[in-house]
């Protein structure tokens, strides 16, 4: 249970001992065209204190230059090399599967084509060209024709690499179908799965660690099934911010491999002393700061709410996670997860 038993239990802040902060984008730095409150200031402060800042995205529709320009528009000091994309990780994977300079069938947008070209590969959109592999990433323009071409090519048994398998993607109007839905369509047609580069798989984390020569990175994310799971698989501590997709309700029911090291309101929490969690002798009660939560029978009970809603959430997560019990077998008060 990483949140409370890791080697970081006694650190003053989540940044103690960290040499690089690796930040997810959607839900952490921005929401669509708008920067998330306090994110720019916090990341700027971390950089000014000597930490390397990397921006990690599963989005395959934009180039690293376009992402860097978007981030710079908020006032962040960012260049393309500071951005690690799932197409970059996917092309590195591809280089181990096919010969240099091979012809690759692309399903996706400019970000994917750009990385393939930089990697020395040739690009096609048609299975009739006999490509050596298929690489697939999200783009709003991907439709039936592109998915069909991928299916035709993959029936020859050639390698298939996907940038990511996110089921949804956050956009201005809300959550929309992501690359995972498009990959699933091809999977249904060909009866096999791709090799995946992006979160929650490890290659994108390895790419980021290599890029920034990080020895002790901290990842910051907002989604349990991609950011938190991926960082845990990569063996790096991870902070979950409550500014994006997954909120208190999802954290309370998080699976063991989707539990973060730290729970933060927003990125200001990176600089704040992180409270220690204590348990009663029978582990039925957890206390964080002035907040205490216990499990009695099947009921999760707030013993002391305290004056910090995040500490209350941390205490509730701690006692539920420590119990090893499934959330559907517990009665959880709505006050712990209502917005």
CA–CA distance, 58 with 236 (Å, rounded to integer): 18
Selection from 278, 324, 266 nearest residue 303 by Cα: 278
Query: Which residue in the list 16, 19, 26, 266 is annotated as catalytic?
Result: 26
Give the pairing of strands 133-136 and 103-107.
parallel
Hey, how many other C-beta atoms are within 10 angstroms of the C-beta on 302? 16
Please confirm, yes or no, whether 308 is among the known catalytic residues: no
CA 323 to chain centre: 26
CA–CA distance, 212 with 226 (Å, rounded to integer): 21
Is the Cβ–Cβ distance between 58 and 198 less than 8 Å? yes
DSSP string, 288-339: ETTEEEEEETTEEEEEE--S-HHHHHHHHHHHHHHHT--GGGSB--GGGT--
CA–CA distance, 174 with 184 (Å, rounded to integer): 21
DSSP assignment, residue 86?
H
Region class of 221: left (phi > 0), else alpha (psi between -120 and 50), else beta: beta
Please confirm, yes or no, whether 24 is among the known catalytic residues: yes
The burial of 129, by beta-carbon neighbours within 10 Å (0-12 exposed, 13-18 middle, 19 or more buried), is given as: middle
Query: Which residue in the list 16, 24, 307, 339 is annotated as catalytic?
Result: 24
Is the Cβ–Cβ distance between 235 and 206 less than 8 Å? no
Helix (H) or strand (E) holding 87: helix 86-95
Query: How far is residue 272 from each of residues 12, 20, 253, measured CA to CA in Å?
Result: 8, 17, 25
Is the Cβ–Cβ distance between 286 and 279 less than 8 Å? yes
Is the Cβ–Cβ distance between 259 and 2 less than 8 Å? yes
Q: Name the residues annotated as catalytic.
A: 24, 26
């Amino acid at each position: 249970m990483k949140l409370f038993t890791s080697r970081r239990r006694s650190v003053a802040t989540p940044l103690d001992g960290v040499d690089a902060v690796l930040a997810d984008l959607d839900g952490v730095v921005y929401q669509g065209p708008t920067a998330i409150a306090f994110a720019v200031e916090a990341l700027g402060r971390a950089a000014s204190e000597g930490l390397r800042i990397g921006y990690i995205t599963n989005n395959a529709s934009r180039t690293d230059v376009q992402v860097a320009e978007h981030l710079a528009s908020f006032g962040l000091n960012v260049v393309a090399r500071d951005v690690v994309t799932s197409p970059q990780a996917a092309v590195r994977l591809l280089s181990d599967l096919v010969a240099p300079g091979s012809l690759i069938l692309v399903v996706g947008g400019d970000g994917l084509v750009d990385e393939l070209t930089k990697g020395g590969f040739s690009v096609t959109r048609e299975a009739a060209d006999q490509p050596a592999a298929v690489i697939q990433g999200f783009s709003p323009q991907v439709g039936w024709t592109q998915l069909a071409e991928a299916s035709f090519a993959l029936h020859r048994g050639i390698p298939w690499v996907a940038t990511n398998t996110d089921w949804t993607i956050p956009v201005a109007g809300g959550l929309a179908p992501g690359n995972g839905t498009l990959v699933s369509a091809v999977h249904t047609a060909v009866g096999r799965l791709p090799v995946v580069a992006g979160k929650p798989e490890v290659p994108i984390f390895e790419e980021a660690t290599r890029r920034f020569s990080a020895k002790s990175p901290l990842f910051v994310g907002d989604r349990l099934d991609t950011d938190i799971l991926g960082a845990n698989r990569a063996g790096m501590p991870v902070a979950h911010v409550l500014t994006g997709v997954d909120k208190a309700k999802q954290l309370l029911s998080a699976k063991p491999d989707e539990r973060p090291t730290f729970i933060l309101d927003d990125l200001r929490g990176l600089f704040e002393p992180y409270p220690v969690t204590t348990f009663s002798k029978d582990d039925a009660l957890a206390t964080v700061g002035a907040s205490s939560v216990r499990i009695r029978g099947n009921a999760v009970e707030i013993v002391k709410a305290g004056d910090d809603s995040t500490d209350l959430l941390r205490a509730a997560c701690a006692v539920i996670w420590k119990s090893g019990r499934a959330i559907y077998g517990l009665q959880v008060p709505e006050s712990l997860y209502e917005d």
